[in-house]
Structure 1
């Protein structure tokens, strides 16, 4: 099963972002379902049934070491010509540390990758049609050289000034990703949630 760890925005944050996205939504891009919006911390890929318990326990321990933090969805950006995203404001150092621990939980279980690229907290809003990576990626890797994809700059410009409400990011969720069929986004099933209970 394909698993990843993520933070879920508050319902209010999702509702306000959805209203803003409705103003730029069109048929050019494949838009993600607001019900599945999340901030990916670590993508584990295929995880064997015999590894799930260990991964769950390690992720729970990681969550206990990190404090809850405040966050909001603000601004927009793109990965090359393939992925349109909304940014995350908040304690960047705290989010990076949490993402690092979530990734380490996977590596110690024997899943995920040892990817040291800079963590960029974001919510994926849309993908260029033809981009088949409908998964809970931590980072996108679009083609910055301009081959394929779509011109995402107008969407970024229209959403750049967006700033949603603050919410308490107080838990990490372990999700299972179910692939979507043609024309449909993947479905994300929460398997477990772990409170962030560490001290500041």
Structure 2
């Protein structure tokens, strides 16, 4: 199964973000983007890719340890940005060092569980809102990032780390994106 570790913003936070995204989606050129669905909004901590059934339990146990060692912390979604002309996102403010620490621990959990991980890169916290259609197509995302510049969401306390399963759409399903389901949740700061 295809898995990743994530922080899931609560509904009141995604309500605010949904209103800002709705305004951005009315801009010219918005139909040139594949917008992520609200049920899939998350802050990825570590992407594991395809994980065999035999590795899921050890990974979940290692993630539980990582969560226990991380105290709850405050975050808020804020502003907008882009990765080149390929992805539009909203950023994160608050205790970003704690989020980075949790991301590092989620990556280390996978290594300790025996999962092969790509070369470590500095964690860039963001929540992806849209992607350019097609791998080789870039879009001018400046109007969209400008529309999100003033966005400042309410803060919330991150209290858990989620292990999420990504279900990719079947072949021949145009425009459908992945569906996400929370596979396991681990409470932060419960000792250890």
TM-score (norm 2): 0.92
User: What does residue 42 of structure 1 align with?
Assistant: 46
What is the root-mean-square deviation of aligned Cα atoms in Å? 1.3
User: What does residue 135 of structure 1 align with?
Assistant: none
**Structure 1 residue 116, shift from structure 2 partner:** 2.4
User: What does residue 5 of structure 2 align with?
Assistant: 5
**Structure 1 residue 182, shift from structure 2 partner:** 2.1
**Separation of aligned partners in 2, 1:192 and 1:148:** 35
**Separation of aligned partners in 1, 2:116 and 2:146:** 34
**Structure 1 residue 194, shift from structure 2 partner:** 0.4
**Structure 1 residue 114, shift from structure 2 partner:** 4.2
Question: When the two structures are aligned, how many residues end up with a matched partner?
Answer: 184
Query: Contact (CA 8 Å) 1:4, 1:175: kept in 2 or not?
Result: yes
**Structure 1 residue 198, shift from structure 2 partner:** 5.4
User: What does residue 22 of structure 1 align with?
Assistant: 22
Off by >6 Å, runs of 4+ in structure 1? none
Query: Contact (CA 8 Å) 1:7, 1:173: kept in 2 or not?
Result: yes
The residue correspondences of 1:55-66 to structure 2 (distance < 5 A) are: 55-66=59-70
Query: Contact (CA 8 Å) 2:6, 2:42: kept in 1 or not?
Result: yes
Query: Contact (CA 8 Å) 1:2, 1:178: kept in 2 or not?
Result: yes
Query: Contact (CA 8 Å) 1:107, 1:114: kept in 2 or not?
Result: no
**Separation of aligned partners in 2, 1:18 and 1:185:** 18
Q: Of residues 45, 68, 71 in structure 1, which corresponds to 2:72?
A: 68
Gaps of 5+ in 2: none
User: What does residue 164 of structure 1 align with?
Assistant: 153
**Separation of aligned partners in 2, 1:70 and 1:35:** 21
Query: Is it true that 1:187 corresponds to 2:179 in the alignment?
Result: yes
Query: Contact (CA 8 Å) 1:41, 1:99: kept in 2 or not?
Result: yes
**Separation of aligned partners in 2, 1:78 and 1:126:** 9
Structure 1 residues 20-60: Cα deviation after superposition (integer angstroms, max 9, x where no partner) = 10001131100000111000000001100010000000000
**Which secondary structure does the structure 2 equivalent of 1:173 belong to?**
strand
User: What does residue 121 of structure 2 align with?
Assistant: 117
Q: Of residues 149, 158, 163 in structure 2, which corresponds to 1:174?
A: 163
